[in-house]
Amino acid sequence: MAQMVMGRIPEGLEDGKEEISPTEELASEHGMLDRIMLAMDHRLKMAGTGGKADLGVINTACGMIRQLVDQHHMVIEEEHIYPRFEDTELADLAKVLRNQHIEMRKIVARMENLSKTGAVRDKSEMEELKRLFMDFHDMVMAHAAWEQTVLFPVMAGTWSEDELEELKEKQEEHEKKLLGKDATKKAYTMLMDLEKSAGISGLNDYTRRAK
């Protein structure tokens, strides 16, 4: 039997999120976005190639991306991280990362508009939605990979403990302002509900075997 989607937050997860470093927190948020994209991909594959497919999950996922990524994760990076690199050897990287945020927001807005009624109207719109998703997916994967292999290690290696602690406090304050007191629980509950709606039963759904 496939592993079922967890129905509750595992013991220690909420406390652990408070203890991890600010760069680990950012990487964890990348993982949250990966799971949202997996749910979107799963639903789009189930939809096939025709129009009039039920795309409510896609619309919900876009709303989650706006709330958890656009209005939180991206804001933290744009206001508190990228500016620190504007006069360094990583200035060009920071510029590209910032520009990619702009394009991500545009793509999500278009995907949200296409799926706002819960169904696309014709085949061409379905094709556009799938193309937009793949563009978004590829850009997010590259974006996160460069941050996690270059930007975040440099932060951990050059920022003082006080600077990292200050960033962590800003992350927690902003998250609570956005989602309220039980921010972590709310975010994970939203994610688990999305996966369930998308038809994902658990991690084992993604187990692949060589043939």
Question: Which tens digit of pLDDT belongs to each residue from 35-90?
Answer: 999 999 999 988 765 545 678 999 999 999 999 999 999 999 999 999 999 999 99
Residue 73 pLDDT: 97
Residue 118 pLDDT: 72
Q: What is the average per-residue pLDDT within 90-107? A: 98
Straight-line distance from the first to the last Cα atom of the chain, in angstroms, rounded to the nearest whole number: 21
Question: Which tens digit of pLDDT belongs to each residue from 132-141?
Answer: 999 999 999 9
- Contact yes or no for 127/51 (Cβ under 8 A): no
**209 lies in some domain:** no
Going by C-alpha positions, the residue among 17, 15, 34, 36 that lies closest to residue 171 is: 17
- Contact yes or no for 82/97 (Cβ under 8 A): yes
**6 lies in some domain:** no
- Contact yes or no for 82/98 (Cβ under 8 A): yes
Buried b (16+ CB within 10 A) or exposed e, 8-47: ebeeeeeeebeeeebbebbeebbebbebbbbbbbbbbeeb
Q: How many residues does the chain have?
A: 211
Return the CATH number at 33. Answer: 1.20.120.520
Domain extent, residue 174, equals 13-201
For residue 5, what pLDDT band results from cuts at 50, 70 and 90?
A: low
Q: Which residues contact 30 (CB under 8 A, 6 or more apart)?
A: 144, 147, 148
The Cα–Cα gap between 103 and 80 comes to 20
**208 lies in some domain:** no
Residue 134 pLDDT: 98
To the question of pTM greater than 0.85 for the whole model, the response is yes
Instruction: Provide the phi-psi class of 200: left if phi over 0, else alpha when psi is between -120 and 50, else beta.
Output: beta
**206 lies in some domain:** no
The Cα–Cα gap between 87 and 10 comes to 42
Number of domains in the chain: 1
**134 lies in some domain:** yes
What proportion of the chain, given as a percentage, has pLDDT over 70?
93
